[in-house]
Amino acid sequence: MTAMPEVGKKAPAITLPRDSGEGENTKVQLSKLKGQNVVLYFYPKDMTPGCTTESIDFSTLAKEFEAQNTVIIGISKDSVERHDKFIAKHDLNLILASDEDGAIIEKYGVWQEKKLYGKVYMGIVRSTFLIDETGKVAAVWPKVRVKAHAQAVLDAVKSL
């Protein structure tokens, strides 16, 4: 199990397929976002209550993040097609990247042991990373509680 990237360190590279992108926009590449802040939020599954709330909260604040030169990217193991349905159903205004093989999820240390009703299994631990304009990790939120999280991340962006 990989440890989460630390504040002040270079963020691990990302190249992933994304929701309904066309032409050159079929992939998300962290390296192409230099000069902008990036919020990466890892979440377990599209269409589930907590993940839906978190995505809607980030989407609702998207214009405020944009005003702070910040791109929001949600990452899960869901397929691009499922992301497209999720975005359409909830009118989301952000990028969702698909990491079906879990390579990036592993690289960011969010694939961890979880427990539910006494059952132990491996899964994505809801976590958020703020990456600054130079590509360094500026803040990490491990084991996120959804309520008021998007606003807390926006507040952190404003303090950069």
Is residue 155 helix, strand or coil?
helix
Of the candidates 11, 14, 16, 51, the residue annotated as catalytic is 51
Q: Round to whole Å and give the CA distance between 78 and 133.
A: 28
Q: Is the dihedral of CA 148, 70, 99, 110 positive or negative?
A: negative
* H-type alpha helices, 45-79: 49-60, 62-67
With left for phi above 0 and alpha for psi between -120 and 50, is residue 119 left, alpha or beta? beta
Whether 139 contacts 40, CB under 8 Å: no
Active site residue 51: yes
Report, as residue numbers or ranges, the catalytic residues: 51
